Amino acid sequence: MILLLLLPATVLIALIFGIPLIRYAWISTHAFSVITGLELVPNQGANWLRLINDQRFWQDTFQTVRFASLSVSIELLLAICIALILDQKWRGRGITRAISLLPWALPTTIMALGWRWIFNTPFGPIDQIFNIVGIESINILSNPNITWIATVIADVWKTTPFIALILLAGLQSIPNDLYEAFRLEGGKPIQAFFKITLPLLRPYILLAVLFRLAQAFGVFDLIQVMTGGGPASSTESLALYAYLNAMRFLDFGYSATLMLGSFFLLVIACILSWIIISRFQYQLNEEKT
Amino acid sequence: MSLILRNIGRKINKNWIVRNLSLNVSDGECLALLGPSGCGKSSTLRLIAGLDKPDEGKILINNEDFTNVSPVDRRIGMVFQSYALFPHLTVLSNLLLGLKVRGVNKDEQRRRVINVLSILQIEDLANRLPAHISGGQRQRVALARALLRDPLVYLLDEPMSNLDAQLREELRPELRRIILNGGQPVVYVTHDQHEAMAMADRIAVLKDGILEQLATPEELYKSPASIFVASFIGRPQINLLTNEPNITTAIRPEDIYLSKEGIESKLIYKEWLGNNQLLLLETPFGKLRVLCEANIRISDNIKINWSKDKEHYFDSNSKLRIN
């Protein structure tokens, strides 16, 4: 009976996720491009061999990993602070909550265009501020060493509210009694944060991190609009590289291989963060009597 | 050595939720704060615990002024209605947490936790999470945590209201034994008069943040100080007769008896309660509740009577007792 009730959802998920994945796996073992006349021609794993030896794939993997890990970490830290502030009772809290969600509600392409202007040299406000303060102009969006940080800043600006919202829901699920009991036990507010708030937020943090990791690993629109992957491919994500292979070079076989490759990386990243965040709880409990 | 509340009051948005309340709880005494919801009993408890600050008055523990001492330094052993156990920690870790933050040394922590686990007979639960134990067991853990605080005062906020009636009755004597064992003052908040009477040496009845009467359970029942106390204590509810000007006469349903000579009355309704039955009668004094033996057959027209010395008199205006 239980299995029967689960069937519709299982079938739906299999259709939406399973079939494309299997199709990708199938395509990735074939040459499938303009050269083959858009016919599937088996090529004995040549795509995968190419992937392993593809410098650009590894460079993009590095870029995607550093982009995702830095932006998700900063977002998490900021979001915890914001959620703690929004959880307090103060005048104007409701309106602040609403305003703080605005960045998240903005379409990515619009906000990416906005940030491109903000970082524009010499017309953007950042450069203007540099001029006023007396710092020498740096071409933020054309310096391969720092452009990726600009994309992290834009991503943090946009998605921190989303994490803050999830964590705020988590904070509000913690009964006030627990904090009062802890105070009566002699606990200080900072101890309450580490002994009660953080552990009880754990499932919400895990949810937010997994959500955001998946999004950040597949980042495409932000990069495409803000930098187009440049300068010198320094901000190119795996999704962007796969897109270029399919849409510019019309090599669907290799594009599918890239997508599958980044999918495996994402699964590994999710499992790693799940293990790290889960371990945190066990450390809190005492050894047996 | 005791807990003294001297004229304490607290207001929220200009409304006094506790007003001019003075109580004195001596060592080893259990005082119940009793009243309907919103009467200020839990607010009073929070004032004693230091979770809220009083807007007026003083709180003294062992003759020391604790009014402005923070809850962190107050040494209060509190049992919450929800038990407030930390859901992510095992029973053992729940109990150790307080000792740890207070900086008790490791051996001492262990010794004391093992001691309370055995007092409350919950050794087997040490490695379980609060979600995996029963309501009664959770209450024991909450009590164990309060004991470990080595408190100056015990505060219990409706500690049994989440338990079923049978378990509550079983636990009452044990709870009383354990909390009074240390000889500290105990303040016990409840809305259940049976529980208050069973647990407390004295009961403070509160209404709208004001103390109506502070007395032993027996005094409360025998000479209620106001109409409110008379109606609140004792079930079925006391009968109020208002046929004399300015005086309300009250008579308990159990003090009325059926007799050959007496007040003519008509049966409206009856409820069988097992060991007795509750009658609702139409009489010249209005509707009266009467408690009589279960095995008497009741006809539609009966005569009732009661002795004058069982009557209570109250001023209809001030609602207070007249002696």
Closest among A235, A234, A252 to A243, alpha carbons compared: A252
Question: What's the start-to-end Cα distance of chain B, in Å?
Answer: 34
What are the backbone dihedrals phi and psi of residue B276, each rounded to the nearest 5 degrees, phi first? Answer: -155, 180
Whether residue B98 and residue A180 make contact (CB cut-off 8 A), yes or no, is no
pLDDT one-digit tens code per residue, B305-323: 999 999 999 999 999 999 7
Cβ(B161)–Cβ(B81) under 8 Å? Answer: yes
What is Dmax (Cα atoms) for chain B? 77
Q: Which residue from A minimizes the CA distance to B123?
A: A289
The letter for the amino acid at B202 is R
Residues from chain B contacting residue A288 (CB–CB below 8 Å):
92, 126-127
pLDDT one-digit tens code per residue, B121-158: 899 999 999 999 999 899 999 999 999 998 999 999 99
Residues from chain B contacting residue A181 (CB–CB below 8 Å):
78, 80, 84, 145
Separation CA B137–CA B134 (nearest Å): 5
Closest among B280, B250, B243, B252 to B265, alpha carbons compared: B280
What local confidence, expressed as pLDDT, does residue A75 receive?
96
Task: Count CB-CB contacts under 10 A for residue B27.
Answer: 16
Whether residue A285 and residue B98 make contact (CB cut-off 8 A), yes or no, is no
Q: Which residues of chain B are at the A interface, by a Cβ-Cβ cutoff of 8 Å?
A: 49-51, 71-74, 76, 78, 80, 82, 84, 86-90, 92-93, 96-98, 101-102, 114, 117, 123, 126-127, 145, 149
pLDDT at A10 over 70: yes
Whether residue B93 and residue A286 make contact (CB cut-off 8 A), yes or no, is yes
Identify which of A177, A184, A284 has the shortest CB distance to residue B88.
Answer: A284
Identify which of A177, A188, A286 has the shortest CB distance to residue B96.
Answer: A286
Task: Report all structural domains of chain A as residue ranges with CATH numbers, in order of start.
Answer: 56-284 (1.10.3720.10)
Rounded to a whole number of angstroms, the distance from the CA of B292 to the nearest CA of chain A is 45
Strands (E), B144-196: 153-157, 186-190
pTM of the model: 0.84
Contact residues for A272 (Cβ-Cβ < 8 A; gap 6+)? none
Contact residues for B28 (Cβ-Cβ < 8 A; gap 6+)? B180, B183, B184, B185
Whether residue A178 and residue B78 make contact (CB cut-off 8 A), yes or no, is no
Identify which of A182, A186, A286 has the shortest CB distance to residue B90.
Answer: A286
Separation CA B21–CA B187 (nearest Å): 14
Rounded to a whole number of angstroms, the distance from the CA of A278 to the nearest CA of chain B is 12
Rounded to a whole number of angstroms, the distance from the CA of B71 to the nearest CA of chain A is 5
What are the backbone dihedrals phi and psi of residue B23, each rounded to the nearest 5 degrees, phi first? Answer: -140, 160
pLDDT one-digit tens code per residue, A126-172: 888 888 888 888 888 888 888 999 999 999 999 999 999 999 999 99
The CA R_g of chain B, rounded to the nearest whole Å, is: 23
Q: Give residue A289's pLDDT band: very low, low, confident or very high (50, 70, 90).
A: very low
Contact residues for B226 (Cβ-Cβ < 8 A; gap 6+)? B212, B213, B314, B319, B320, B321
Cβ(B5)–Cβ(B23) under 8 Å? Answer: yes
Identify which of A180, A200, A286 has the shortest CB distance to residue B88.
Answer: A200
Residues from chain B contacting residue A277 (CB–CB below 8 Å):
none
Question: Beta partners for A251?
Answer: A33
- pLDDT-flagged residues of chain B (< 70): 1
Distances B210 to A255, B16, B36, B193, B229 between C-alpha atoms, Å: 77, 9, 12, 18, 12
Cβ(B8)–Cβ(B59) under 8 Å? Answer: yes
Q: Give residue A124's pLDDT band: very low, low, confident or very high (50, 70, 90).
A: confident
Q: Which residues of chain A are at the B interface, by a Cβ-Cβ cutoff of 8 Å?
A: 175, 177-178, 180-188, 191, 195-196, 199-200, 202, 281, 284-286, 288-289
Whether residue B149 and residue A185 make contact (CB cut-off 8 A), yes or no, is yes
Mutate which of B72, B104, B147 to disrupt the A interface (most A C-beta within 10 Å)?
B72
Cβ(A237)–Cβ(A150) under 8 Å? Answer: no
Contact residues for B293 (Cβ-Cβ < 8 A; gap 6+)? B276, B277
What local confidence, expressed as pLDDT, does residue B1 receive?
59
Question: Beta partners for B57?
Answer: none
Separation CA A225–CA B46 (nearest Å): 57
Contact residues for A252 (Cβ-Cβ < 8 A; gap 6+)? A27, A32, A33, A38, A245, A246
Q: Between A and B, how many residue pairs show a Cβ–Cβ distance under 8 A?
A: 78
Cβ(A161)–Cβ(B72) under 8 Å? Answer: no
Task: Report all structural domains of chain B as residue ranges with CATH numbers, in order of start.
Answer: 2-228 (3.40.50.300), 236-322 (2.40.50.140)
pLDDT at A283 over 80: no
Whether residue B87 and residue A200 make contact (CB cut-off 8 A), yes or no, is yes
Pairing state of beta strands B64-65 and B56-61? antiparallel
